[in-house]
A and B are shown apart, each in its own frame.
Chain A
Amino acid sequence: DAGVTQSPTHLIKTRGQQVTLRCSPKSGHDTVSWYQQALGQGPQFIFQYYEEEERQRGNFPDRFSGHQYPNYSSELNVNALLLGDSALYLCASSATFGGTDTQYFGPGTRLTVL
């Protein structure tokens, strides 16, 4: 049973560019959440997708957007990149139903903005 997978592993972009990160949830999970983790900090919640819609959102600007596909995989898009967007981006999946609220994390995508 594959866990949460993310691609790419590493990415280098320049300021002003746009980036797309991808996530495939754990088998049986229908909810995907995205987090930003700056160096030395805890993960900060960006948003959560369920049934192809953004269900809740953290305190991030509209430059951060996402999408969820019918197979529950998800994308995180960041436009007009800033130096401060350099971070580890984590995807977590969970099951909305089934009596569990545990989120399982992928290995992350390391984004460097130059």
Chain B
Amino acid sequence: GDSVTQMEGPVTLSEEAFLTINCTYTATGYPSLFWYVQYPGEGLQLLLKATKADDKGSNKGFEATYRKETTSFHLEKGSVQVSDSAVYFCALTGMNSGGYQKVTFGTGTKLQVIP
């Protein structure tokens, strides 16, 4: 079945540092790929998405490129802020055996940015 593997956290960075959170996936067909962010005590917010190979999703300074050859969708940001401290989830939407879309999440990576 489909699966998503994220780098384990927590990741601790100083403000203005460069961020990379690795995400690789296993899926049949051509899934769409997502990054969601969860701030403490809140639900998941869609951060960015990419629907086909070589697409780049971007939002709020975050970027991720759909790499089919390496089955990866790594999240990057050039300069993190304290307000970026949250848990980040990589996810994919694939098709289950019944022909319906099914979302599979990674386990999440906690990011802590210190001033």
**Interface check B107, CB cutoff 8 A:** yes
Looking at chain B's contact residues, the main secondary structure is strand
* Complex Cα spacing A62 to B110, Å: 32
| B positions within 8 Å CB-CB of A | 32, 34, 36, 42-46, 49, 51, 89, 93, 96, 98, 100-103, 105-108
Contact A42 B106 (CB under 8 A): yes
Asked if A106 meets B103 with Cβ closer than 8 Å, knowing A41-B108, A42-B89, A101-B93, the reply is no
Contact B46 A106 (CB under 8 A): no
In the complex, which residue of chain B has the Cβ closest to the Cβ of A99? Answer: B51
| A positions within 8 Å CB-CB of B | 4, 6, 33, 40-43, 45, 48, 55-56, 88, 90, 92, 94, 101-108
Contacts of A40 in B (CB 8 A): 108
Q: Can you list 25 contacts pairing A with B, beta carbon distance less than 8 Å?
A: A4-B43, A41-B107, A42-B89, A43-B105, A45-B102, A45-B103, A48-B100, A55-B98, A56-B98, A56-B100, A56-B102, A88-B43, A90-B43, A94-B101, A101-B93, A102-B32, A102-B34, A102-B46, A102-B49, A103-B103, A105-B43, A105-B44, A106-B43, A107-B43, A108-B43
* Complex Cα spacing A4 to B45, Å: 11
